[in-house]
Structure 1
Amino acid sequence: RQDGSFEEISWDNYTNMLDFGCKAVFNTVKAAHPVMKQQGAGRIVNIVTELWNMGSANWSAYLAGKGAMVGMSRSLANELGPAGITVNMVAPGWMLTDKVDPESEGSKRFGQSLPVRWHGTGEEIGKACAFFLSDLASYVTGAYLPVCGGRITQMGA
């Protein structure tokens, strides 16, 4: 369970979210970085969340895991950079998925409230990842890229 008030969420749920946010990245990087290091180059892109930047009631477990991932990513950017490995983050905002009804009033209202006036999809996330994985981003590491239709400009971050 990733959401719930702090009063009602259990420590097991909390640690599951920390594992989801941190342990998966730790294990993946631990397994992949030796090969990247041997090759003298590599690209790591972690998917965090735009919501981490502002916080939200009832999401402390999920956001704690994502916040840990941000810290780990920035630390790894410094540690792995000398080996030619870049580490960056894509931070999706609210996206249309198969679990979101694009025709609901709330969804329409939210999309219209964004500076771009529409919802993003997984394709936008993929394009941001493709940028970080390409040679266009060879000098970019430790970056946090909000893919949120401009919502971050409305948060005062």
Structure 2
Amino acid sequence: MSKTALITGSTSGIGRATAEILATRGMHVIVSGRDATRGEAVVAGIRAAGGQSDFVRADLRDAASATGLATDALRLGGGAVDVLVNSAGIFPFGPTADTTEDGFDTVYALNVKAPYFLVAALAPGMAERGAGSIVNVTTMVAEFGAAGMGLYGSTKAALVLLTKSWAAEFGPAGVRVNAVSPGPTRTEGTAAMGEALDQLAAAGPAGRPGTAHEVAEAIAFLASDAASFVHGAVLPADGGRIAV
């Protein structure tokens, strides 16, 4: 029987690439995002390639939305979700003084609250079955200070700590919780950065931005049985930026 994987933010970018890779490896992939047209297109592509996939629309603006997504995913998965990838996120950059309270709350709701309540809804079931894998997508700027990135970086720093806490909480019951920390990655979401993305990437040994597929391969590894002895790790997929 195939495993079921729920990937948030999988209508584009890293999330979409992750959904496509996990589908090719035999998982029933539940694609989730805000845009139904893009979501259905991802599902259609996966099915055309012979994979199993369904789409659930969710904006993940609050705990109720996260819990509703979990409920729908469990229904589509026949009562079980074996893999959860928390890939949905927004990354506003700018001065602290320009941040509004609504903007602050929106970023924390999607980047921290949604993963928290998805794990709360799905990890206990994984623990009861004695197996499961959760992969959180963080960022290299969760590890160091960078001007204009305090709001975004702080949400992902919270997710790094949650990764380790959840590994300690659910690991003894067979649920592995890990994270992937991307560096500059060329996706639809970062296209607006233009040359700034290349300049940021030039500081790393790879000397270039990564692709969504390259980051997704790291996520797929942690989600797979090949990473059976990996708990609470943060795997950099950043072109070596962590080394400089």
- The number of residue pairs the alignment matches comes to 153
Match of 1:121 in 2: 211
CA contact (8 A) 1:92 1:146 kept: yes
Structure 2 unmatched runs, 5+: 1-90
Instruction: Output the CA distance in 1 between the equivalents of 2:102 and 2:199.
Output: 36
Q: Structure 1, residues 64-108: CA drift from partner, whole Å, max 9, x if none?
A: 211111111110100001110010010000011234379x65555
- Does 2:227 correspond to 1:100? no
- Does 2:90 correspond to 1:13? no
| TM-score, normalised via structure 1 length | 0.87
Match of 1:56 in 2: 146
Shift of 1:54: 1.2
Shift of 1:6: 1.2
Letter of the 1:5 partner, please give it. P
Higher relative contact order (CA 8 A, sep 6+): 1
Give the SS at the match of 2:181: strand
Please identify runs of 4+ aligned residues in structure 1 that moved more than 6 A: none
Match of 2:120 in 1: 30
Match of 2:171 in 1: 81
- Does 2:237 correspond to 1:147? yes
Structure 1 unmatched runs, 5+: none
Shift of 1:112: 4.4
Instruction: Output the CA distance in 2 between the equivalents of 1:7 and 1:90.
Output: 30
More strand by share: 2
Tell me the C-alpha RMSD between the 2 structures.
2.1
